[in-house]
Homo-oligomer: A and B are copies of this chain.
Amino acid sequence: MIPRYSRPAMVALWEPETRFRIWFEIEAHACDALAELGVIPKSAAETIWAKGRNATFDVARIDAIERETKHDVIAFLTHLGEIVGPEARFVHQGMTSSDVLDTCLAVQLSRAADMLIADVDALLATLKHRAHEHKLTPTIGRSHGIHAEPVTFGLKLAQAYAEFSRNRERLVQARAEIATCALSGAVGTFANIDPRVEEHVAKAMGLTVEPVSTQVIPRDRHAMFFAVLGVVASSIERLAIEIRHLQRTEVLEVEEFFSEGQKGSSAMPHKRNPVLTENLTGLARLVRGMVVPALENVALWHERDISHSSVERMIGPDATVTLDFALARLTGVVDKLLVYPANMRKNLDRLGGLVHSQRVLLALTQGGVSREDSYRLVQRNAMRVWRGEGDFLEFLKADPEVTAVLPPEALKPLFDLGYHTKHVDTIFARVFG
């Protein structure tokens, strides 16, 4: 997580202040439940809330205590004791550190997911808007980087919309998976704490109960969470690369917005580079690189070891902050993207009509020519166009084997652009409902 690729709200989620606040809430809610069960005095629970609710937890003080005890939760509890006074001895009764740590992480990742879902929603809104704006803007479709047949620029964005709609669903599921609470004690047996405490805290913190924990919440949940972030990052990369391609000098169908005062190159003043989408490509690599460590975290030893902790201290903030930033940056890029329909049309016409070759092929077979022969007839004319010898339609008109089946007047309508866009409505209805 570095400032350059961070946004404040997601960063704040991972600040110590936020963490200690959540820890306090977990402990205090647990006290409520313990008091209700008669394990601790109700007055103790009340005092804890009263003293802690608006308290400021002193991060430096907690750090100082941790340096001595080498244990973060004990350090926090010691500091909480300084705030709450003698009633603090009723805090954390029957609990173990991981009860607090893992439930807190569940809260943080759930909130992170909420922000990411909101990010995707903003991106979807922008994609939808721009897709409709360019619903019928013709442009060449390319397979293998080679001109294939016409599409519309709106269709490209509709595809991205559909992809990020799926990513939204995945994030919703990942959030549901990760949002569990464990307050089950040292090895998950509830030996020293009643399961009803867990149920109360879960509800109070907006989580569900972890059915069976082993001091820790099982890490397959987290692995799935980070795997989903890796998929979302890869979708970001896909759209980023599309834009980078379209901004190439030779293509120039779109451009990232280029603000006044911006310099493209210290050496070459004419440059306008797709640096935002290139940056997104790199950020996608970073988020993707965090998937494998998360998968390696699953196989903790026995009821738990703590090897996952350092991994999560890094990838928890890094993956969510980076992805949050990347989604917002991508939304900005799409929103302000400069689109050049005239250049699209120029590129579309570049191949002298070759983009209509399949339609000619089909017309030949429908006219009774075998598929093999049709292919041969089309290809021999297409190759001449490819070599720059002239126009596809003219060559076809001059090929007697072709005109024997398709006379010139039957050939011309095969070169109509509308033929390729006639189902755009259908696709848009499927994607946007």
Contacts and interface: CB of A to CB of B under 8 A. Distances in A.
Contact of A166 (B221, B289, B302, B383): B221
Given A265-B97, A305-B145, A212 B244 contact: no
Interface stretch (A117-125, A370-378, A401-409): A370-378
Given A186-B267, A386-B270, A248 B249 contact: no
B291 A143 contact: no
Q: Which of A149, A283, A313 has the most CB atoms of chain B within a 10 A radius of its CB?
A: A149
Contacts of A70: 259, 261-263, 275
A371 B191 CA distance: 18
Interface stretch (A47-55, A106-114, A417-425): A417-425
* Number of identical monomers bound together in the oligomeric complex: 4
A13 interface: no
A57 interface: no
A234 B299 contact: yes
A314 interface: yes
Given A271-B143, A302-B142, A426 B162 contact: no
Contact of A143 (B91, B221, B304): B304
A371 B89 contact: yes
Nearest to A253: B250
A146 interface: yes
Interface in A354-391: 354, 357-359, 361-362, 365, 370-372, 375, 378-379, 382-383, 385-386
A243 to B, nearest CB: 10
Main secondary structure of the interface of A (DSSP, over half): helix
A336 interface: no
A135 B189 CA distance: 12
Given A97-B265, A303-B148, A359-B191, A231 B237 contact: no
Contact of A299 (B73, B218, B241, B306): B241
Interface in A233-267: 233-235, 237-238, 240-242, 244-245, 247-251, 259, 261-267
A186 B245 contact: no
Contacts of A278: 144, 305-307, 309
Given A150-B187, A285-B297, A288-B293, 7 more contacts: A70-B275, A71-B262, A93-B362, A141-B215, A230-B295, A289-B315, A314-B318
